[in-house]
Amino acid sequence: MRVSVQEAISALSSPLKEEMEKIVSSPDFDATIGPEDFASLSTVTGLSDADLRVAMLPVAAAYSVAPISKFYVGAIARGASGRLYFGANMEFEGVQLSQSVHAEQSAISHAWLKGETSLTDITINYSPCGHCRQFMNELNDADKLEVQLPQREAMLLHKYLPEPFGPSDLGIEEPLLAPLNHGMIAHEDDALIQAAMGATNRSHAPYSKNISGVAIRDKQGNIFSGMYAENAAFNPSLPPLQVAMIAMNLADVSLSEIQDVVLVEKANAVISHLQDTQAVLEALNPDIPLAYLAV
């Protein structure tokens, strides 16, 4: 467990501190809180559902990687299954700021990576920026999504984003997090390529049609994959490399552990992730090999 997470837990009030220590020190802890653990935390602490989520935000924010802003944002997204998914912002020195990941994107991608198909609520330690309000409007059931901030009443996303523009304005019926399988097959018998292809098959790219996925292998041989998450407003789209880095970060593995990477995307699509993927990896470590598969 990274020091920032240990420190965030140490700073919690009792008995939440002791209960969170138990949960987080379990070898199975994966930056999520299951519904049974959440109910038990609520009983032991006497905190309401919303107050408990807000009280846990510093632990989510402790996953932040923000060398530029040093502004640590945490988000906790709850899936329809009742499980809570931590997320935190990520910044990358040496590339455009547009490559940054916001905490809401991190928590939402985390839930998506682990199989959630819709979210009921998201709790954030700062008011969501315009970019994230738009990103969240891409979600399945966006009109029902509750946003909870500290010391605020929960409000629906569309209270934060009145008169929203979204997928339906472009005739798109498959929202973000809807289960997808684009049915592409990798013929290479390579675990990293297979993982990137699996992510490609789940990617949400209804506008450019450039379905795409990335898989990262770390120095221990663990594989983290990420699906491309496109957005109706284009700019808030989240590239597949970023989603794979979110998976790695929330698995408590430093980006300095990246061994090699595969990018899969559609051949001859109207856009490409290749140059941005190369640029971000180059900024992290120029020696990371990137394999590229256009299918």
Active-site residue list: 104
Q: Considering the complex, what minimum distance in angstroms separates the CB of residue 131 from Zn ion?
A: 5
CA dihedral 206, 142, 34, 90 (to 10 degrees): 60
From 75-83, 128-136, 224-232, 234-242, span contacting Zn ion (CB under 5 A): 128-136
| Pick 129 or 290: Cβ nearer Zn ion | 129
Q: Determine the size of the site formed for Zn ion (CB under 5 A).
A: 4
Burial letters for 63-79: b for 16+ Cβ neighbours within 10 Å, e otherwise? Answer: bbbbeeeeebbbbbbbb
Given 24, 80, 95, 129, the residue binding Zn ion (CB under 5 A):
129
Tell which positions 90-119 bind Zn ion, by CB under 5 A.
102
- DSSP E strand stretches across 71-178: 74-79, 84-88, 119-124, 146-148, 155-156
Site string for Zn ion, 53-92 (x = CB under 5 A): ----------------------------------------
Which tokens sit at 283? 């900024």
Q: Checking DSSP bridges between strand 146-148 and strand 84-88, what pairing results, if any?
A: unpaired
Tell which positions 273-292 bind Zn ion, by CB under 5 A.
none
Q: Considering the complex, what minimum distance in angstroms separates the CB of residue 44 from Zn ion?
A: 32
Ordered strands of the 223-227 beta sheet = 223-227, 212-218, 258-265, 290-294
**37/241 Cα distance (integer angstroms):** 31
Q: Considering the complex, what minimum distance in angstroms separates the CB of residue 104 from Zn ion?
A: 6
**245/224 Cα distance (integer angstroms):** 8
Question: Annotation-wise, does 91 bind a ligand?
Answer: yes
Q: Considering the complex, what minimum distance in angstroms separates the CB of residue 64 from Zn ion?
A: 13
Question: Annotation-wise, does 102 bind a ligand?
Answer: yes
* Known binding residues for substrate: 89-91
Positions touching Zn ion (CB under 5 A) are: 102, 129, 131-132
